[in-house]
Amino acid sequence: MIYLDNAATTPPCREAIDASVFAMNEAFGNPSSLHGLGIQAEKLIDFSKEALARALGGVSKEIVFTSGATESNNLAIFGLAENYGRRKKRVVTTAVEHPSVAEAFKKLSALGYEVVAVKPDQNGEITADALVSAVDKNTCLVSAMYVNNETGYILPVESAFSRIKKQYPDCMTHCDFVQGFLKLPVKVKSLCADAVSVSGHKVHAPKGVGALWIKSGVRVAPATFGGGQQNGLRSGTEAVPAIYAFGKAVEAFSGNIAQRLERAALVKKYAVERLSEAGLVINSKENASPYIISAALVGIKSETLLHFLEAEKIYVSSGSACSKGKKSAVLTAFGLADAVADSTVRISLGFDTEKNDIDSLAEALERASKSLVKSDRGR
């Protein structure tokens, strides 16, 4: 099998699997219990908080564990808007966000906020200037992703957020860092963010765990109420096995980010050459994250191609896994013509993707081009 859908999810690593089994077998106590078993479980959470904080460049008390980045994004957006948007009702985001941000902003709009979603320009770029000029003195929150999950496009979050913070120190900044975490050597300080979302299953931890980093002193209103766990920010007994596994996966992959990035860039360069030779249009920009390649075999529907490749045990996504066959509003926002967007597949590299995996993909694509063109293009 050749797995090239790592932006959708990654296989849990050995360290994460062993950690979750250990937590279930040996440390099953409730982390809020005062006895030894509870304290043992609490220690596993503390380990993971420290691992996440170290990888992000923060401190452990700034980490809140959630059920995934969808919850982290929702917690940050609603929690910041509630505390900082009493009088300032304008909120800014981009038109290329993951649905867990885009839908949260739709809800803010329904709640009476003025929502501005900055669109890519005619070059498919969202510039720092465009983000900064969308913000005014009535803006309480800006949320922008670091790496777009469909195209790998890297947004100028650092320069935009640092300028916004200089001009409007009271405006809160949130970054969905899911596709950049442990892939790009970026720390929260340089992001100038007040809150940063990450997800476990994109970095070889299990599904169902994520984290929100919240800068010390920043107030995020809770969305769940109950036993007051995690400093009252996220009530509910912590998912210790998943959290411990997340910490172990982060520990395993928090070194060598720059070396892995360099390696991925070489594989991407090779992939772009091979895919172009196979007749694909490459949508991803040259300076996009090397881990995500958006490309189209124009005339063949994404899903048709995806299933053709699947029959050869090669796994990719159509656009993004979250769009599930629906037309991607994000690809359209990036300026892709309908015919290209409808034929787009996302090839997302893992840390271990090799050039020969790309060769197998390119050969399969050549076969697809020969055998599918007639059936699909003729329609």
Contact residues for ligand PMP, defined by CB under 6 A: 68-70, 98, 100, 145, 149, 176, 178-179, 199, 201, 210, 322
234 secondary structure, DSSP code = S
Closer of 178 and 358 to ligand PMP (Cβ) = 178
Separation CA 179–CA 98 (nearest Å): 11
Closer of 183 and 201 to ligand PMP (Cβ) = 201
* Min CB(322)–ligand PMP separation in Å: 5
Q: How far is CA 81 from CA 38, 113, 165, in A?
A: 35, 9, 16
Residue 115, beta-bridge partner list: 91
Closer of 146 and 168 to ligand PMP (Cβ) = 146
Closer of 230 and 317 to ligand PMP (Cβ) = 317
Separation CA 225–CA 242 (nearest Å): 21
The H-or-E segment that residue 302 falls in is: helix 302-311
- E strand segments, 171-305: 172-176, 195-199, 210-214, 281-282, 292-296
Q: What are φ and ψ of residue 360, in 5° steps?
A: -60, -40
Contact 220, 172 (CB under 8 A): no
* Min CB(145)–ligand PMP separation in Å: 5
* Min CB(63)–ligand PMP separation in Å: 15
Closer of 176 and 251 to ligand PMP (Cβ) = 176
CB neighbour list of residue 173: distance below 8 Å, 6 or more residues apart: 141, 142, 143, 161, 164, 165, 191, 192, 193, 194, 195
* Active-site residue, selected from the candidate residues 13, 140, 192, 322: 322
DSSP per-residue string spanning 36-91: HHHHHHHHHHHHHHHHHHHHHTS-GGGEEEESSHHHHHHHHHHHHHHHH-SS--EE
Closer of 70 and 229 to ligand PMP (Cβ) = 70
Separation CA 148–CA 6 (nearest Å): 14
The most distant pair of C-alpha atoms in the chain lies apart, rounded to whole Å, by: 70
First to last CA, the chain: 31
* Min CB(274)–ligand PMP separation in Å: 25
Does 175 qualify as catalytic in the annotation? no
SS3 51: helix
**Which residue, judged by CB position, is nearest to ligand PMP in the bound state?**
68
SS3 196: strand
Active site residues: 322
